[in-house]
């Protein structure tokens, strides 16, 4: 089963790919495109080379270069479409008229399982119909409802222990989070160290990505904490942090480009 993922958020791509591996291991992700232009190019080149059409396209609505409905104006989509979106539940119910299902971000495993079951049920019954031209109806729905993407709710503070006391520390006071001996800590800008009862994946979920960036599996930093960065072996980056961290601080090769973009914002 061939899959194309159209999504411009790398974290969302990683999570959806992981959920697909757990939920439907027979699905093979053959392509990942981050924009309207890249998707049109991928589909066109795929057809030109004689490759089979994707069975399913997981299609985000808001992309970096516009709403993904424009894709349907530029190229004929022959695949079944499952939308992924952050729009509210009323609009999502309307979307279901034009695609076989939707997945509300952040994607939950039970929702993905439901969508996969629906695809197989429709296919078995000979009813799986590609979303041939949903853009007109969907755009009309969006305009009529005057919908805006909801503002994400990010964590504003953490409750931590200091001796016998409990302290409420605002995220603006945090320089970075890191793992040490299996525990998760953060340091504030004054260099004080606190333990938090969260894993890195959980922190990445509810920290504002405008302020926090996960540079590797064991470190999430803020702009203010990075005082120097320089090229490092194998296309990675070495960071100098303030307050200092008593271990090597390296941005992984996979995240180095995105990190430089984030630092320049």
Per-residue pLDDT tens for 157-206? 999 988 888 899 999 999 999 999 999 999 999 999 999 999 999 898 88
86-95, 96-105, 219-228, 252-261: segment of lowest average pLDDT? 86-95
Q: Where are the CATH 3.40.50.2300 domain residues in the chain?
A: 2-145
What span, in angstroms and rounded, lies between the C-alpha atoms of 96 and 21? Answer: 24
Q: How confident is the model at residue 7 (pLDDT cuts 50, 70, 90)?
A: very high
Closest C-alpha among 4, 81, 86 to residue 38: 4
pLDDT digits (tens, 9 = 90+) for 144-167: 444 444 556 788 999 998 888 889
Which are the contacts of 217, defined by CB distance < 8 A and separation ≥ 6? 179, 200, 252
For residue 126, the model assigns a pLDDT of 55
Q: What is the CATH number of domain 157-263?
A: 2.40.50.1020
- pLDDT at 39 > cutoff 70: yes
Lowest mean pLDDT among 140-144, 162-166, 219-223, 245-249: 140-144
For 225, phi then psi, to 5°, come to: -80, -20
Interval 233-260 mean pLDDT: 92
CATH 2.40.50.1020 domain position(s) in the chain: 157-263
Query: What angle is formed at CA 142 by the lines to CA 115 and CA 43, rounded to 5 degrees?
Result: 55
Task: Reply yes or no on whether the pLDDT at 125 is more than 90.
Answer: no
Res. 260: pLDDT tops 60 = yes
Mean pLDDT of the residues in the chain? 84
CATH number attached to the domain at 2-145: 3.40.50.2300
Q: Determine the average pLDDT of the residues in 30-57.
A: 94
* Cβ atoms 102, 85 nearer than 8 A: yes
And the tokens for 103?
A: 């997945």
User: How does residue 241 score in pLDDT terms, banded at 50, 70 and 90?
Assistant: very high
């Amino acid at each position: 089963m061939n899959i194309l993922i159209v999504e411009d958020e790398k974290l969302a791509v990683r999570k959806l790919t992981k959920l697909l591996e757990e939920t439907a291991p027979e699905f093979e992700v053959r392509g990942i495109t981050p924009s309207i232009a890249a998707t049109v190019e991928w589909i066109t080149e795929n057809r030109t080379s004689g490759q089979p059409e994707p069975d399913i396209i997981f299609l985000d609505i808001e992309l970096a270069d516009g709403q993904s409905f424009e894709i349907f104006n530029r190229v004929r989509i022959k695949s079944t479409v499952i939308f992924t979106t952050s729009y509210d539940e009323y609009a999502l119910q309307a979307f279901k008229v034009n695609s076989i299902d939707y997945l509300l971000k952040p994607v939950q495993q039970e929702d993905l399982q439901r969508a996969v079951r629906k695809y197989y049920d429709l296919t078995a019954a000979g009813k799986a119909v590609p979303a041939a031209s949903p853009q007109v109806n969907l755009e009309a729905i969006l305009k009529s409802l005057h919908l805006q993407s909801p503002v994400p709710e990010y964590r504003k503070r953490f409750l931590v222990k200091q001796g016998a006391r409990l302290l409420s520390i605002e995220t603006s006071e945090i320089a970075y989070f890191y793992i040490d001996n299996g525990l998760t800590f953060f340091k504030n800008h004054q260099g004080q160290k606190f333990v938090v009862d969260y894993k890195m994946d959980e922190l990445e979920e509810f920290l504002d990505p405008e302020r926090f960036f996960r540079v590797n599996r064991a470190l999430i930093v803020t702009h203010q904490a990075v005082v120097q960065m320089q090229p490092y072996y194998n296309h990675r980056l070495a960071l100098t942090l303030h307050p200092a961290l008593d271990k090597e601080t390296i941005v992984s090769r996979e995240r180095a480009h995105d990190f430089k973009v984030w630092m320049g914002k």
